[in-house]
């Protein structure tokens, strides 16, 4: 058996699901562990099956406890020794790095990580895009906005402030200089671009971006926050933040001629963090 741990916001869950799906292509018995969301208070909790038509094959609580080396109860320690599971717990050591040897390992394994590299799922792209079709159609204000997005040279800009402000790992990467340079590239390459700004701090965006006739989106909140991702994916081009939320917005965009601009540094703590970015994206 192989078990994939799910944890984090929607973008991280999507990467974990993509990894889970790739394992299922290569191995017969692959399960999901979503038990950690019981005490998870960030974001909107586990969202995949609410937003997409996704059914996970869940691992039993017994299997999770058995594979989880952090469970030190004598019974589980004894069983791990008998069943050869002492080394079954695999933690992703280096973020963003692709490890093809994972698919040669037939041993029972519990995978703890984020698996943020497209190489894990490039060979199941069609299947994954089908899985990531949004359940609910857009309505009301979002539907009207979608009509504008699909009828113009639309460019989504994702600006994440909130929890990123002064953050030692994520903060001050996608600053005002980054967005100004990205917009200059878009304005040079695309005729009459229409900008759609998605942010958790719209007032800051209005005061600092100085983009004429831009559309500012801030009404999708709480359990409807994912609709921003849905709208971003409809835009023909993207300026993304160092956020997996807008990463998936760009990846889900089906425009063959799309222009995607991304920060070449994803984390302040990882010099190799550009591995998360696609080769054809423009990195600045």
pLDDT for 273-284, tens place per residue? 789 999 999 999
pLDDT for 208-232, tens place per residue? 998 988 999 999 999 999 999 999 9
What percent of the chain has pLDDT above 90?
A: 87
The rounded mean pLDDT for the chain is 95
pLDDT for 45-67, tens place per residue? 999 999 999 999 999 999 999 99
Which H or E element spans position 204? helix 202-209
Confidence at 16, pLDDT banded by 50, 70, 90: very high
- Rounded CA-CA distance 234/127 in Å is 19
Q: Answer whether 85's CB lies under 8 Å from 59's CB.
A: no
Output the pLDDT for position 182: 98
Q: What is the pTM for the complete model shown?
A: 0.95
Output the pLDDT for position 164: 83
pLDDT at residue 72 is higher than 90: no
pLDDT for 165-194, tens place per residue? 778 888 788 999 999 999 999 999 999 999
Query: Where in the chain are the domains?
Result: 2-131, 140-283
The CATH class of the 140-283 domain is alpha beta
For residue 199, the SS3 value is strand
- Rounded CA-CA distance 225/218 in Å is 9
Which H or E element spans position 30? strand 30-33
């Amino acid at each position: 058996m192989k078990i994939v741990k799910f944890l984090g916001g929607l973008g991280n869950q999507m990467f974990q699901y993509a990894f889970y799906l790739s394992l299922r292509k290569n191995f017969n018995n692959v399960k999901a562990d979503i038990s950690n969301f019981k005490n998870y208070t960030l974001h909107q909790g586990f969202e995949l099956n609410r937003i997409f038509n996704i059914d996970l094959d869940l691992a039993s609580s017994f299997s999770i406890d058995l594979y989880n080396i952090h469970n030190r109860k004598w019974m589980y320690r004894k069983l791990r020794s008998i069943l050869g599971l002492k080394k079954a717990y695999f933690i992703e050591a280096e973020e963003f790095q692709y490890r093809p040897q994972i698919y040669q390992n037939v041993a029972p394994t519990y995978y703890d990580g984020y698996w943020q590299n497209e190489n894990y799922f490039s060979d199941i792209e069609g299947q994954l895009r089908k899985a990531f079709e949004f359940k609910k159609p857009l309505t009301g204000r979002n539907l009207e906005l979608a009509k504008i997005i699909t009828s113009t040279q639309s460019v989504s800009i994702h600006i994440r402030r909130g929890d990123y402000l002064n953050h030692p790992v994520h903060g001050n990467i996608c600053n005002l200089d980054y967005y100004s340079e990205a917009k200059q590239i878009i304005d040079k390459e695309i005729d009459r671009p229409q900008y759609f700004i998605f942010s958790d701090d719209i007032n800051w965006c209005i005061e600092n971006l100085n983009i004429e006739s831009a559309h500012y989106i801030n009404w999708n909140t709480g359990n409807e926050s994912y609709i921003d991702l849905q709208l971003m994916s409809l835009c023909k081009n993207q300026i993304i933040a160092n956020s997996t939320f807008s990463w998936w917005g760009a990846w889900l965009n089906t425009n063959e001629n799309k222009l995607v601009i991304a920060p070449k540094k994803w984390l302040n703590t990882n010099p190799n963090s550009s591995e998360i970015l696609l080769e054809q994206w423009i990195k600045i």
